[in-house]
Structure 1
């Protein structure tokens, strides 16, 4: 997966298709077949009146981490995907008072879901877990929230 290409596609998505994503200014830091890391900065438009990240901005980050990984896996296999979210569960553990990193490590599960949808020709729904951290990758790393998103997808060959 070419990280530079997917960064540009994410920018286009936020700029022209879904402006709310653009307002949150996500940054794609890492993306492999197994894992994605998206950072949302804490700034004027993502901050609430208490100085922590607004839960709506956190929902955007979780949506991106799960959905963009699913999109990328389908794109790599040259498939058209109809990816939607069926449900969304959030567990907020601490107030994130700095940039938040959304990490999804379920690339293999999403790939199996894509394969099942391709073989059956029908829509397949599975839960995907996204964890949100502050100070990700440092000794002070702290889990601030967890999300479970029901990804429903139907794929077909291009």
Structure 2
């Protein structure tokens, strides 16, 4: 499988998991006793797939270099690597409002003791206005990720 195909496959799998998480959220409203746990598991699984896709993308856009790093943390911290696509991703990671910064924040939570998925507040409690669910945030990150791919790949293919 090519690096492009692997990135695409992982993004597709994340999309499938997010669709299943949406179904589980509907089941939550119908009082399925396992629906909340199922939704949380699917959200975290989708987040894990997005992490794998980010790692695959970083390998994809840096395959013309002779450098190798294990994961997104190492690539985004390796400021001595002069790759335009990597610089673009670093600037997105530094912008707190960007999809990548939000994704990285959720990934740090995923690897922490608390995890990334949360139980939703009961409907009768007031929740903070404008706060997105994990699944909504991940769907947005997924859309933005896919929208950025062509321009990153175009620059990378020039090498």
After TM superposition, the score normalised by the length of structure 2 is 0.30
Structure ranking higher on relative contact order (CA contacts 8 Å, 6+ apart): 2
More strand by share: 1
Instruction: Give me the TM-score of the superposition, normalised by structure 1.
Output: 0.30
The structure whose Rg is larger is 2
